[in-house]
Amino acid sequence: MSATTRDSLDRVIRTTLDSDELEYEHPETGRFFVALPGNKKLRTNCWLIVTEHALLVEAFVCRQPDEAHEEFYRHVLRRNARLYGVHYTVDSAGDLYLVGRTALHAVTSEELDRILGQVLDAADGDFNTLLEIGFATAIRREWGWRESRGESLANLRAFSSLVERQGALPPMSEE
C-alpha cells in the first residue's frame, strides 16, 4: 500500500471519529485506539488497524465466563448471525472480543460509522445478558456483599432479577 493511500485512509478515519465526537488515540499512522461510550458497558475500547489489504477492527467485550460456558458461547454464536461487519471470537485466554475486517477500498466514513455502530450495539447491547449468563454467581455474591455492608447497589440494579430468581442471596465466602 502506498503512503498516499495510508494517509488518505487515516484522514477518513480521523474525520469520521472527529465528526462522531469519539475519544481516540492515534499512536502511529494506520492505528487508532477508540473509546466507544455506552450505557450498559460504559466504554468499549476498539482498535482500528490499517493493514496492507484491510481495515481490522478489534474490541474487547468481556473476560471469559465463570460459569454456564455452553449457554454463553451458544448466545454469542447465535448473535454472530445478526451482526454486520464484525463477529464474536475468543482469544487464547477465553476472553470475548468483537473482530472484523473490511477491504480498504470499502472504507468510507459511512461504512466506518456503520461498523463502529455495530461494535457499540453488540458490546453494549449484549453486555448485561452476557454477564447474567456467565457471571451470575459472582453478581449475586457481589450483591450480597454490598447489601451486607450497606454499599451502593446502583451499578448492579440491572441484575436485580438474578437475586430475585435465586430467592435468597448466596452464602458469603470467607475470602
3-class secondary structure, 175 = coil
- Residue 11, CA distances (Å) to 4, 5, 8, 62, 118 in order: 11, 10, 5, 31, 21
The residue with cell 472504507 is 107
- DSSP helix, strand, coil percent of the chain (3-state; round to 5): 50, 25, 25
The residue with cell 468499549 is 44
Spatial CA neighbour of 59 closest among 39, 26, 84, 87: 87
pLDDT score at 143:
86
pLDDT tens figures, 92-146: 999 999 999 999 999 999 999 999 999 999 999 999 999 999 999 998 998 889 8
3-class secondary structure, 59 = strand
Domain ranges of the chain: 3-126, 136-166
Handedness of CA 62, 68, 69, 70 (dihedral sign): negative
pTM of the model: 0.86
Architecture of domain 3-126: 2-Layer Sandwich (3.30)
**pLDDT band, very low/low/confident/very high, at 166 (cuts 50, 70, 90):** low
State which amino acid sits at residue 175. E
pLDDT tens figures, 48-97: 999 999 999 999 999 999 999 999 999 999 999 999 999 999 999 999 99
Cα–Cα distance measured from residue 40 to residue 95, given in angstroms and rounded to the nearest whole number: 18
For residue 64 the three cell numbers come to: 471469559
pLDDT at 161 over 90: no
Spatial CA neighbour of 55 closest among 15, 115, 97: 115
Spatial CA neighbour of 26 closest among 42, 9, 1, 39: 9
